[in-house]
Amino acid sequence: MEKRLSIIIVEPDPERALPIVDGLRELGEHDIRIIAEETGLARQIAEFRPDVVLIDLANPSRDILEELALASGPLERPVAMFVDRSDEQLTRAAIEAGLSAYVVDGLRPDRIKPILDAAIARFHMIQRMRTELAATRAALEERKIIDRAKAVLMKARGIDEEAAYALLRKTAMDQGKRVADIAQQLVMAAGLLTCR
Amino acid sequence: MQVTRLRLGYLPLIDAAPLIMAQEMGFAAEEGLALELVRLNAWAQARDMLGAGLIEAAHMLVPMPVAQALGLGPRLPAMDLVMFLSQGGQAFAINAALETRLRAGGHGFDFADARAAGLALRRAVSGVLRVGVPFPFSTQSELVRHWLGASGFAPDAVELVTVPPPRMAAALAMGEVDAFCVGEPWASFAVAQGGAALLLPGRAIWAAPPEKGLVLRRDFAASQPELTGALMRALWRAGRWLDDPEHRGSAAEIISRPEYLDLPSELAGRGLGGTLMISSGGELRHAPDFIAFNAGAASFPWRSIAALLADRIARRQGLDPDAAMQAAMGHFRTDLYRQHLRAAGASLPGASSRLEGALKADRMVPAEKGQMILRADAFFDGQTFEPPPWRPEPLSRN
């Protein structure tokens, strides 16, 4: 049986780190540790002596890892140079997923690839979740604005909610704009017209 | 006119000004470009995103494409530096304990004399001096090694520690480093936070330290010559606009906006205006030409600079310096600079390589057409660097 790999995930947000850990656990028994703190990153990595470090491409601590990748002296453990240098395809797939990986020199490609594939898949999943969350939030905000616009119309013109929405929708269609944009303009204009 | 969108990566520093002002002042639009400025958090991120084609061009530390040419980075498509974006703009800062010791020793903090500051620091430091720099391959790292080495610090008496620029002040405050060298406004930011004193500008160590460059993928520059030329001209004109002292104040205002540096504009104004507050006591020092973008051929990407950096990096990393210098020189594209900026009116030197560090004062030299002024480029200790002749091989994609 092959020796377990030690893997560090540098990620301050636990909601992002845990899905990555889960993805890696499915591959088998590995020693996985999450580092959330930026302070003392170099020391913690030196203590754990990982085979693989996974980190968000945009994490400001990236440049500290670049230094570690170079700092291996002849007496130290052969540290890491980036994702397997022989595989440019894999490097680019990781970058496109927003993932940066540092791998200890000499680790066989067939041992690295499954880990990176799993991490890349999880990073894509996290990106999708973020996009969806942002879309949900935006939809919620739009809902609120439209409700306020309807209230403005109902009060100003003495119409009911259904008629107010129909009016917003017709105006939006006539102007070639979105209902939310018309609602936003109306709420802003109403704010300007209201005496304080 | 058809407008082409280009994605440009930058890190929040005053030397990102040519990119930001090219877009904000319309120099990009004049060339039919709309620049999508992508704010990044790490230099490694700029390199990787450029390599993967997620951005078309990057604002990058000048030694980075050299390191990449030497195989000291991940395996990515070949990257070329096509012009320098700035010279200078760095400051060296020390913590309060060192400041006290230097003052007690009679140092005057003139923010100008690198020899005196180096000797004073050598006397004040016992043990290892830990110095923060933004990246292992950075102009800051070269300045610190050169200056401290020439000031009597043995190689093992200095430890360089990589610290992201926005964290520099905190790293000093928490004792992770005793001093640091960083691009503005992050040194002024540390002074404003308290506990840091500025000892020298980068230019006191090396009169013309190339700081940032515009880096493109080689395949992009080759397949999109019109876009490459348009981008270079827009940035070159933005640099020329920035070198007018009258424009530095408005530049500081614009680059400090929330979508760019997101800091009080007064901080960016110190470096751009050349008047820095060197201590929490409010002492001001005037540093003429603290940062230059265009004047004195500041943007010309001398192949001899590539050789100088490659020689130093190769020796530290145990690589063959001669092979390293040849590899690096091919990645500083003086040919593209001439091709794309000649029509814009850039002064073009007769040669693409020179004896580095030889000019103690600005000098008038023959140019392709007429004459041009070259900025002084001496090292404080008088060291010079003679580049080898460049033996170009056919341009490779790697």
Residues of A in contact with B136 (CB under 8 A): 63, 66-67, 70
Which of B41, B49, B75 lies nearest to residue A60, judging by beta carbons? Answer: B41
The answer to whether the CB of A187 falls within 8 A of the CB of A152 is yes
- Lowest mean per-residue pLDDT among A38-42, A123-127, A169-173: A38-42
Q: How distant is the Cα of A67 from the closest Cα of chain B, in angstroms? A: 6
Which amino acid belongs to residue B119? L
Is residue A44 less than 8 Å (CB to CB) from chain B? no
Smallest CA–CA separation between B23 and chain A, in Å?
24
Q: Is the pLDDT of residue B398 over 70?
A: no
**Which of B40, B48, B54 shows the shortest C-beta gap to A100?**
B48
Q: Looking at CA atoms only, how far is residue B165 from chain A in angstroms? A: 9
Task: Verify that B217 and B80 share a domain, yes or no.
Answer: yes
Q: What residues have CB less than 8 Å from B315, skipping those under 6 apart?
A: B321
Q: What is the largest CA-CA distance in chain B?
A: 64
Contacts of residue B355, defined as CB under 8 A and 6 or more positions apart, other chains included, come to B304, B384, B385, B386, B387
**Which pair of structure tokens corresponds to residue B285?**
């020092």
**Confidence band of A72 (pLDDT split at 50, 70, 90):** low
Strand pairing report for B179-183 and B90-95: antiparallel
Residue A82: inside a domain, yes or no?
Answer: yes
The answer on B75 and B99 residing in a single domain is: no
Contact between A60 and B167 using a beta-carbon 8 Å cutoff: yes
Asked if the structure places residue A72 within a domain, the reply is: yes
- 8 Å CB contact between B42 and A58: yes
| CA–CA min distance B202, chain A (Å) | 21
CATH of the domain at A43: 3.40.190
Residue A97's pLDDT is what?
86
> Cα-atom radius of gyration of chain B, to the nearest Å?
20
Do B112 and B180 lie in a common domain? Answer: yes
Chain A, chain B: beta-carbon pairs less than 8 Å apart: 77
For residues B125 and B244, membership in a common domain is answered with no
Whether A72 contacts chain B with CB within 8 A: no
Say if the Cβ atoms of A62 and B161 lie within 8 Å: no
Residues B229 and B338 in one domain: yes
Residues B80 and B228 in one domain: yes
Residue percentage of chain B with pLDDT more than 90: 91
B312 in any annotated domain: yes
Is the Cβ pair B74, A59 closer than 8 Å? no
Residue B17 falls within a domain, yes or no?
yes
What confidence score (pLDDT) does residue B330 get? 96
pLDDT bucket at A103, cuts 50 / 70 / 90: confident
Q: Residues near B392 by Cβ (< 8 Å), separated by ≥ 6?
A: B330
Is A1 part of a structural domain of the chain?
no
- Across the interface, whether the CB atoms of B167 and A38 are under 8 A apart is answered yes
Residue B292 pLDDT level (bands cut at 50, 70, 90): very high
Asked if A15 has any chain B CB less than 8 Å from its own CB, the reply is no
CB B133 within 8 A of CB A67: no
**In terms of domains, do A54 and A146 share one?**
no
Q: Smallest Cα–Cα separation from B178: which of B272, B267, B102, B245?
A: B102
Percent of chain B having pLDDT more than 70? 98
Q: Do B41 and A91 touch (CB under 8 A)?
A: no
What is the reported pLDDT for B393?
74
Region B334-341 average pLDDT: 97
Q: Flag the least confident range among A59-73, B244-258, B303-317.
A: A59-73
* Partner residue opposite B45 with nearest CB, options A62, A86, A96: A62
Give the model's pLDDT for residue B39.
97
CATH assignment at residue A180: 1.10.10.10
Question: Binning pLDDT at 50, 70 and 90, where does residue A78 land?
Answer: very low
Average pLDDT over residues A13-21: 87
Number of domains in chain B: 2
d(CA B357, CA B273): 26
For residue A85, pLDDT beyond 70: no
Domain end position, chosen among A132, A158, A182: A132
Q: Are residues B193 and B317 in the same domain?
A: no
Q: Which residue has the tokens 């070639």?
A: A176
Residues A91-106, mean pLDDT to the nearest whole number? 83
Is A6 in CB contact (< 8 Å) with chain B? no
A43 lies in the same domain as A112: yes
Does residue B142 register a pLDDT over 60?
yes
Of the three residues A132, A150, A181, the one that is the final residue of a domain is: A132
Assess whether pLDDT exceeds 80 at residue A87: no
Least confident of A20-29, B269-278, B285-294: A20-29
Residue A42's pLDDT band (cuts 50, 70, 90): confident
Residue A81 sits in the same domain as residue A158: no
- A92 close contact with B: CB closer than 8 A: yes
Interface of A with B in 123-152 (CB under 8 A): none
Min Cα separation B77/chain A (Å): 9
Q: Residue B141: closest CA among chain A residues belongs to which residue? A: A67
Best mutation target, B10, B13, B45, to test chain A (most A CBs within 10 A): B45
- Mean pLDDT across the stretch B308-334? 96
Give B19-41 pLDDT, tens digit per residue. 999 999 999 999 999 999 999 99
B176-205 mean pLDDT: 97
pLDDT at A73: 47
B251 and B237 in a common domain = yes
- Average model confidence (pLDDT) for chain B? 95
Name the β-bridge partners of B35.
Answer: B6
Instruction: Name the pLDDT band for A91 (thresholds 50, 70, 90).
Output: confident
Whether residue A94 sits in one domain with residue A177: no
* Chain B interface residues (partner A, CB cutoff 8 A): 40-45, 48-49, 51-52, 54, 72-76, 134-136, 161-164, 166-167, 174, 176, 317
Inter-chain residue contact A96 with B54, CB threshold 8 Å:
yes
* The predicted structure's pLDDT at residue B361: 93
Cβ contact (<8 Å) for B317 and A59? no
Closest CA to B302 of B170, B197, B210: B210
Residue A141 shares a structural domain with residue A189: yes
pLDDT at A24 over 90: no
Instruction: Give the model's confidence band at A75: pLDDT under 50 very low, under 70 low, under 90 confident, else very high.
Output: very low
Give yes or no: residues A32 and A117 share one domain: yes
- The whole-number average pLDDT for the span A72-78 is 45
In this prediction, residue A83 carries a pLDDT of: 53
Q: Is the pLDDT of residue A48 over 80?
A: yes
What is the per-residue pLDDT for A74?
A: 40
What is the layout of strands, in order, in the sheet containing B196-201? B158-162, B129-133, B179-183, B90-95, B196-201
Share the mean pLDDT of chain A.
83
Q: Determine the structural domain holding residue A64 and report its residue range.
A: 6-132
* Alpha-carbon gap, residue B307 to B146, rounded angstroms: 16
Over residues A177-193, the pLDDT tens digits come to 999 999 999 998 988 88
At residue A167, the pLDDT reads 94
Give the count of domains, chain A.
2
CA pair distance A74, A77, nearest whole angstrom: 8
CA–CA min distance B267, chain A (Å): 22
Tens of pLDDT, residues A121-166: 888 888 888 888 888 888 889 999 999 999 999 999 999 999 999 9
Q: How far is A82 from chain B (nearest CA, A)?
A: 6
Determine the structural domain holding residue B217 and report its residue range. 4-88+209-255+293-374
